[in-house]
Structure 1
Amino acid sequence: MTCYIKEEYYRFIFDNTKDAILLTTPDGRIHHANNAAWEMFQRTDEDFQKEGRSGIIDPEDTNLERMLRERLEKGFVTGELTFIRKDGSKFIGQITSSLFNDENNETWTAIIIRDVTESKKLERKLKEANDKLKDLAYIDYLTGVLNRRALIDRLGQEMERSKREFKPLSLILLDIDSFKEINDTYGHITGDQVLKAFARSIKESLRAYDILGRFGGDEFLICLPDTDFDSAIDIAERIRKNIAKIEVQKGDVVIKLSSSAGITYYDHNSTEDLDTLISKVDYIMYRSKEKKNSIYTSI
């Protein structure tokens, strides 16, 4: 009587669980599937028996061979595989597969499969949301470049790399000439348009690995990794010329821009810290503002 109750108990679990259960042999033949498997794979027992393992697993999934080896070595395996429904659609299944022997010492495999498609979608959405939050923490909302906090972090990292690898490092600090007058004359909305155009022009003038951030107000700091002093001057001049081409329309008025920039070079052999380096390039930039539309340099 006890065995009868136990057998009925396991039969109840087999037929009513929401996870797919497959009774197979190690060679890939499927002998029996529960109701959840029929629904999940859109197949009957006859379909499973006819198609076998190769008929329900995506042949492009490279995890299968690894998982089969691990199951053979350990007697069980857990992981994820891409499965194929009868209509050809695919889904990600989280599986647990174990080897066992029956009373005749024949080897069988029990495979439990859970469709994790929805949870994977949720994971992706959470990751996207976290990425957006990260962007908000590090990106200046108006111009789309790094904010001051992220910029200082990156500059510190590049100074450390410069010391470690004996690589050159240059800085450019620049701002918009007469930006206060633009704001006072045309309003802050126009001022925001000017800032966006200014940042966009700088970004388009830089190389992919250069680091640009809004240092504050209309000041933008550029970190130039692996860049010597002469190359930094060339880059600053290119930026200055491109900024001079900017035109921001305000009604019938076309606002033309110019910039003042300071350039300095970081000597990896020096004891100069980050604050000292920024103070130095800040002083050099303000020297250039005395003339406007100009570049001042200092090593």
Structure 2
Amino acid sequence: MDIRKRIQDIKGLLAKKANGLDPEIKEKIQELCNLCEELHNQASFDFLTGLYNRRFFEKELEINVERAIRERSVFSLILMDLDHFKRVNDKYGHLTGDEVLKGVAALIKRNIRKIDIPARYGGEEFAIILPGTSSEGALSAANRLKQELASLRFGPEKNPFSITASMGVATYRPRSNISAHEFLQEVDRLLYRAKESGRNKIVTDDEKVLWQNELEGLSFEEREALKGVWSYDD
């Protein structure tokens, strides 16, 4: 159930039926709706960055896996971890560290689509679900984030510093028959490889993609790219 939409529907109905309600009852219902909306926000959003929180992200990841299997579609996931973030806290303090996290969150929001789902997954780690996005699209999004991050500056005005990030990027395909948890573990391993290979890197699952004699689970962009290689019905 989309709780936010349900609350808005109730508010809309309340506005339409306002003339037939006792003013005191109307006020109490309005207060209840506002309280439900506030509780939903607290349960779904990270208070510091304004991104979705881990609980909401994991629920959405399961929903996207179920949709991919049902519709034989794909989606991608980016896991991003800020490099050497502990050094920022140690050298500049936690308030500056918080400013870095908020700055990176704002950057993510500016560089993704409205349908994408950005979350603060933990400490200095972020996750972005990209619905209907192929491997190529996900890598393009990750590269864009990496380039934009390089232009950010934090800390003292006279001596600002920049920060980098390592990323793991993978595309979920229904034929893989893995759970949301298993897919998350796979992307987390790619992130670990990015950090182990020197940080400030993007590691994808491209080398794990096995081409088969059918196009199940390929995005529209990938189908278009394969025209003339395999014959298939549009």
TM-score when scaled to structure 2? 0.77
Change (3 A) 1:178 1:81: closer
1:255 deviates by 2.1
Give the one of 257, 264, 272 matched to 2:163.
257
Matching residue's letter, 1:291: G
Report if the CA contact (8 A) 2:135-2:170 is conserved: yes
SS of 1:222's partner is strand
CA distance, structure 2, for counterparts of residue 273 and residue 158 of structure 1: 11
**5 Å matches for 1:172-211?**
172-211=78-117
Greater helix content: 2
Aligned length: 191
CA distance, structure 2, for counterparts of residue 151 and residue 255 of structure 1: 30
Report if the CA contact (8 A) 1:93-1:117 is conserved: no
1:119 deviates by 2.4
1:251 deviates by 5.5
Report if the CA contact (8 A) 2:82-2:166 is conserved: yes
TM-score when scaled to structure 1? 0.61
Greater strand content: 1
Report if the CA contact (8 A) 1:177-1:260 is conserved: yes
SS of 2:30's partner is helix
Change (3 A) 1:129 1:195: same
Q: Taking CA–CA contacts closer than 8 Å with sequence separation of 6 or more, which of the two structures ends up with the larger relative contact order? A: 2
In the other structure, the counterpart of 2:43 is 137
Query: Which consecutive residues of structure 1, in runs of 5 or more, have no partner in the other structure?
Result: 1-79, 83-90, 95-115
CA distance, structure 2, for counterparts of residue 123 and residue 263 of structure 1: 45
In the other structure, the counterpart of 2:27 is 121
Q: Deviations over 1:32-58 (max 9, x none)?
A: xxxxxxxxxxxxxxxxxxxxxxxxxxx
In the other structure, the counterpart of 2:183 is 277
In the other structure, the counterpart of 1:298 is 205
Matching residue's letter, 1:230: E
SS of 1:247's partner is coil
CA distance, structure 1, for counterparts of residue 131 and residue 32 of structure 2: 33
SS of 2:169's partner is strand
Change (3 A) 1:242 1:93: same
CA distance, structure 2, for counterparts of residue 153 and residue 81 of structure 1: 33
1:161 deviates by 0.4
Give the one of 12, 19, 33 matched to 1:92.
19
CA distance, structure 2, for counterparts of residue 197 and residue 259 of structure 1: 13
The percentage of aligned residue pairs carrying the same residue is 36
CA distance, structure 1, for counterparts of residue 55 and residue 159 of structure 2: 36
CA distance, structure 2, for counterparts of residue 203 and residue 93 of structure 1: 42
Matching residue's letter, 1:93: G
SS of 2:176's partner is coil
Report if the CA contact (8 A) 2:73-2:173 is conserved: no
What is the alpha-carbon root mean square deviation over aligned residues? 1.7
1:270 deviates by 1.8
Larger Rg: 1
CA distance, structure 1, for counterparts of residue 180 and residue 55 of structure 2: 13
Matching residue's letter, 1:139: F
Report if the CA contact (8 A) 1:81-1:93 is conserved: no
